[in-house]
């Protein structure tokens, strides 16, 4: 059901410093920041040959990333994202197998302009999983 690893998301307390570290220290191609108000984050995508890194920074007072950074002040891996061909079929199959979909269960449009869903970390060995339709 799942396809390629789309990205690894890392919550960061300082978006500019994190982007500079990937660009200047690691020599990666760093894209400009983009605000995602529906998700409460500002993101910066870093292109790698085989996947992407998504740097996440809180946007607004109700950002889910604020709580993560309160517990992890230095930042850290927030979630991993897998590609799926049909997000609704994937959701239905996961729910039928007992997995919990976060939020309303309906896909939202993610940072790539494609439908996404998040799966409860307690159902996936402590890892928050995002599915993105490709």
pLDDT of 67 above 90 = yes
Q: How far apart are CA 131 and CA 134, in angstroms?
A: 10
Per-residue pLDDT, 41: 96
- Among the listed residues 54, 83, 130, 132, the single catalytic one is 130
- Would you place residue 68 in the very low, low, confident or very high pLDDT band (cuts 50, 70, 90)? very high
Q: What is the average pLDDT across 86-94?
A: 98
pLDDT over threshold 90, residue 132: yes
Torsion 124-52-103-70 (CA) sign = positive
What is the chain's length?
A: 134
For the chain, domain boundaries? 5-133
Q: In the predicted model, what is the mean pLDDT of residues 113-121?
A: 97
The first and second tokens of residue 12, run together, are: 């960061």
Give the predicted TM-score (pTM) of the model: 0.94
Q: What is the DSSP string of 65-82?
A: HHHHHHH-TT-EEEEEEE
Tell me the per-residue pLDDT of 3-19, one tens digit each, with 9 for 90 and over: 999 999 999 999 999 99
Catalytic status, residue 83: no
- Give residue 109's Cα distance to chain centre: 12
Q: What mean pLDDT is reported for the chain?
A: 96
Residue 61: pLDDT band (50, 70, 90) is confident
Fold of 5-133: 2,3-Dihydroxybiphenyl 1,2-Dioxygenase; domain 1 (3.10.180)
Query: In this structure, what is the dihedral angle of CA atoms 92, 96, 102, 106, given to the nearest 10 degrees?
Result: 20
The reported pLDDT for the residue numbered 103 is: 94
pLDDT at residue 98 above 90? yes
* Distance separating alpha carbons of residues 129 and 134, to the nearest angstrom: 16
């Amino acid at each position: 059901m799942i396809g390629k690893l789309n990205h690894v998301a890392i919550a960061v307390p300082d978006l500019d410093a994190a982007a500079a570290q990937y660009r200047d220290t690691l020599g990666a191609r760093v894209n400009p920041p983009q605000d995602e108000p529906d998700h409460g984050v500002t993101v910066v995508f870093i292109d790698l040959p085989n996947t992407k890194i998504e740097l996440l920074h809180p946007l607004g007072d109700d950002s889910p990333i604020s709580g993560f950074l309160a517990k992890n002040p230095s930042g850290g891996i927030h979630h991993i994202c897998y590609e799926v061909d049909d997000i609704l079929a994937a959701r239905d199959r996961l729910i039928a197998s007992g997995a919990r979909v976060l939020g309303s269960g309906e896909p939202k449009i993610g940072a790539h302009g494609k439908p996404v869903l998040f799966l409860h970390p307690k159902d996936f060995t402590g890892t928050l999983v995002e599915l993105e339709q490709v």
